[in-house]
Amino acid sequence: MTQLRPLLLLLPLIFCSGWITAQSSPQDFALGMSARILNEECIRLVPDAPYVSGSAWYKTPIDLNRPFSMELCLVLGCKDDDGADGMVFIFHPRMLTGWRGEGMGFAGLRPALGIEFDTYRNYHLADPEEDHLAIMPNGRTHHAGSLLGPLKLPNLEDCKKHPLSITWDPGNQLLEIYLDQERQAAYTIDLVNNVFGGNPVVYWGVSAATGRLSNFHDICIKRLVYAEGTPAEAPANNAGKGKE
């Protein structure tokens, strides 16, 4: 049960705040490009087809001055050697999807934070041969600019659901990522000031893309716990307007 410890420690803080929402419905996401709802839990971001992109943005902003936790499952297709490209969890002040293709909807966004699950090796981006995880700032996809990683992962293109937990503890400024019930990454950062210029209110979403090679990419939402934030201005919903 050690994989649940960060979430369990956060829950007392969360439910004492009085303005917390928890939900698990794909209906609460704005879908863009090829993304579509599969069932009551899962969203298919991209089908197993070349040169497609898809995104899903949660419609309510979150407050980074409060803890959050996300429990989901990832499915990154069934083709290992011939599969591509991966997905990125994105935090950004607007529901705006970035460059498609190898940018996986994250490239070009600033200010932004991305948590990348990459299944294809782009040599010019300093990718390792293995599937990998990285924490990346401000739309940068080359790993020379990564805050953490690339961290090598076991093969994710195996047709299986991979449990994912992402937690944020603002008191300790700690971002933790658990995949397949093992802690894969822990990174200490002042997200509000060092990434978002003092703005604690951001949207989060996940985007995926394929290129010449492809796989279907799904996310299944299990549980979200967070504090709602109020954006300074009405967001531009460009979830379906990924850059070319």
Asked, for residue 170, whether it belongs to a domain, the answer is yes
For the chain, the 3-state helix, strand and coil shares in percent, each to the nearest 5, are 15, 40, 45
Question: 10-50 pLDDT, tens per residue?
Answer: 443 333 344 466 667 899 999 999 999 999 999 999 999 99
- Bigger pLDDT: 19 or 5? 19
User: Which pLDDT does position 238 carry in this prediction?
Assistant: 61
CATH number at residue 133: 2.60.120.200
**pLDDT score of 148 more than 50:** yes
**pLDDT score of 156 more than 90:** yes
Range of the domain at 52: 28-218
Total structural domains in the chain? 1
Question: 50-92 pLDDT, tens per residue?
Answer: 999 999 999 999 999 999 999 999 999 999 988 999 999 999 9
Asked, for residue 9, whether it belongs to a domain, the answer is no
222: number of Cβ within 10 Å: 13
Contacts of 181 (CB under 8 A, 6+ apart): 3, 163
Q: Collapsing DSSP states into helix, strand and coil, what is residue 128? A: coil
Asked, for residue 17, whether it belongs to a domain, the answer is no
User: Which pLDDT does position 102 carry in this prediction?
Assistant: 79
Asked, for residue 12, whether it belongs to a domain, the answer is no
Phi, psi of 146 (to 5 degrees): -70, 145
pTM over 0.75: yes
Asked, for residue 202, whether it belongs to a domain, the answer is yes
Q: What residues form DSSP beta bridges with 42?
A: 220
User: Which pLDDT does position 104 carry in this prediction?
Assistant: 85
Asked, for residue 112, whether it belongs to a domain, the answer is yes
> Strand 42-46 to strand 217-227: parallel, antiparallel, or no bridges (unpaired)?
antiparallel
Give the rounded distance of the alpha carbon of 210 from its chain centre.
16
User: Which pLDDT does position 18 carry in this prediction?
Assistant: 43
The whole-angstrom separation of Cα 187 and Cα 6 is 13
User: Which pLDDT does position 34 carry in this prediction?
Assistant: 94
Asked, for residue 187, whether it belongs to a domain, the answer is yes
Average pLDDT, the chain: 87
DSSP state at residue 129: S
Do the beta carbons of residue 181 and residue 7 sit within 8 Å? no
Let me know how long the chain is: 244
Question: 191-243 pLDDT, tens per residue?
Answer: 999 999 999 999 999 999 998 999 999 999 999 988 888 876 655 556 545 54
Question: 116-126 pLDDT, tens per residue?
Answer: 999 999 899 99
